[in-house]
Amino acid sequence: MDASTQISLGQLLADAPRHLRTFAERTARLSKEEKGIRLSEMFFLYAAIADLGPKRIIESGRARAQSTLVLSALFPAASIISIESDPTSPDVAIAAERLKDQRNVECRFGDSRRLLPELLRAGDVVLIDGPKDFRALKLGLRLLRTGKPSAVFVHDLWHGTPARDFIDRHLPSAFLSDSAEWVQSYAALDSRGRMVPAYPANARVVYGATLGCFPASEENYSVRSMQCALAQGIDRLRASARKARRRSLPDRPADFTLAA
């Protein structure tokens, strides 16, 4: 990827206004589901990669196909490959009905941790909305380590989670849809008439699930993968220690003291 196509938060914020009209036109008539990635997050993805003109986008975690449907409409010339883990889910029939007229979508079933590395080609964009947390982050880093994807997006990177803390500490090239600048400018896409608070620049914003962009960059993704695995192991040990402490605490008797 040359310097003219580098993806960064600054470039995204600069490019987003000229992409907003196309985004609004292509998504205006789509059916909507409450379950799925929000419109402001999908615009975050679209504005980040629209100028790259991706030929393929691979998605893991289809559910009711909200993001799949939006991707299909936003990138009509691209092939959208969508992977869902559970073929018995009641969401499968809903997704199939919503996607029946989308000719550029291919739906598959299986474990994305196995299928994504097998399917990945140079220049692909990847959207991971399942698995979650460290498993999603490890998968994204594994893909980036190959040097093939132009960008990987990971959903549900909530503030205060160990996986998000790892990103904030160790992945400076990543940027997220809950940045104050992005929320301040584009949260209204999700408002449906509700008031959206104005956030001061550089504020720490807690705005829902959050989509993270991990661009092809000079990051040493092999090292980051090892660091991520270590952080996940430490988090598991801490979780096990917390459970053990809770089990060791004696049951507290009910307090029946009445106020005078």
Q: What is the pLDDT of residues 130-167, one digit of tens each?
A: 999 999 999 999 999 999 999 999 999 998 999 999 99
Q: What is the pLDDT of residues 78-110, one digit of tens each?
A: 999 999 999 999 999 999 999 999 999 999 999
**CATH number of the CATH domain containing 96:** 3.40.50.150
Domain count, the chain: 1
* Residue 260 in domain: no
* Residue 254 in domain: no
* Residue 252 in domain: no
- The enclosing H or E element of 58 equals strand 56-60
219 in helix, strand or coil?
coil
What pLDDT is attached to residue 17?
97
Q: What is the pTM of this model?
A: 0.89
* Residue 133 in domain: yes
* Residue 106 in domain: yes
By residue range, what is the domain housing residue 85?
3-247
**Phi, psi (rounded to 5 degrees) for 235:** -60, -40
Residues 220, 226: Cα–Cα separation, whole Å: 10
71 contacts 39 by C-beta, under 8 angstroms: no
* Residue 161 in domain: yes
What average pLDDT score do residues 223-228 get? 96
* Residue 259 in domain: no
Q: What is the pLDDT of residues 32-59, one digit of tens each?
A: 887 889 999 999 999 999 999 999 999 9
Which letter does DSSP use for residue 249 in this model?
S
Q: Which two tokens stand for residue 38?
A: 């929000």
